[in-house]
Amino acid sequence: MRFSYLFCAILCVSLVSCDTFLKPSGWPVETAVKKSACHHMIKHVKFSGSKELLTHEERALLTFLHNPDNIAAAVGRKNRPGSHEWSAAEVYLVDPGKYVSVLCENGYQQKAVYFHYHAEKKTWYRVSNLEDKHRRGVPAVLVKE
């Protein structure tokens, strides 16, 4: 009996601490900047100073966020036909070029998701928080040149 509890505890801890189990299928998404997607998403950007001076990497993230299925995957849900789709309501450039907070909504629920950019790997990671000591997170967006 004790072995069962011990096994369950170890399994739960390993699942919670390992980000790869929480990785949505198809991630990371290789994303090139699309002007039409950026133009639509730019109205959701807050606290950026100048919206004209967004970096290439930030524009790639906006292109990724333009797709409702990517938003749903970042939130940990799925969009279902005939129901409210998840979308980005507001995009906060907390530390431009490095940390981004996205307020997502589906018409009756809201949830914040966070992204951190790793310049050497040219990858945006979906992270659990914006603290300096966060884990690397789940690779979400591979930025194409």
Q: Note down the domain range covering 73.
A: 22-143
In-domain check, residue 96:
yes
In-domain check, residue 17:
no
Provide the number of structural domains found in the chain: 1
In-domain check, residue 3:
no
Strands 99-105 and 87-95: antiparallel
Q: Where are the alpha helices (DSSP H) in the chain?
A: 2-17, 35-41, 56-65, 68-75
Q: Cα–Cα distance between 17 and 108 in angstroms, integer? A: 30
Supply the pTM of this predicted model. Answer: 0.81
Cβ neighbours of residue 23 under 8 Å, at least 6 residues apart?
Answer: 138, 139
In-domain check, residue 66:
yes
Q: What are the Cα distances from residue 121, in Å, to 18, 81, 124, 142?
A: 20, 35, 9, 8
65-113 pLDDT, tens digit each: 999 999 999 999 988 887 889 999 999 988 888 899 999 999 889 999 9
In-domain check, residue 53:
yes
In-domain check, residue 52:
yes
pLDDT at position 33: 94
128-138 pLDDT, tens digit each: 888 877 677 99
In-domain check, residue 88:
yes
In-domain check, residue 1:
no
Q: Cα–Cα distance between 109 and 83 in angstroms, integer? A: 12
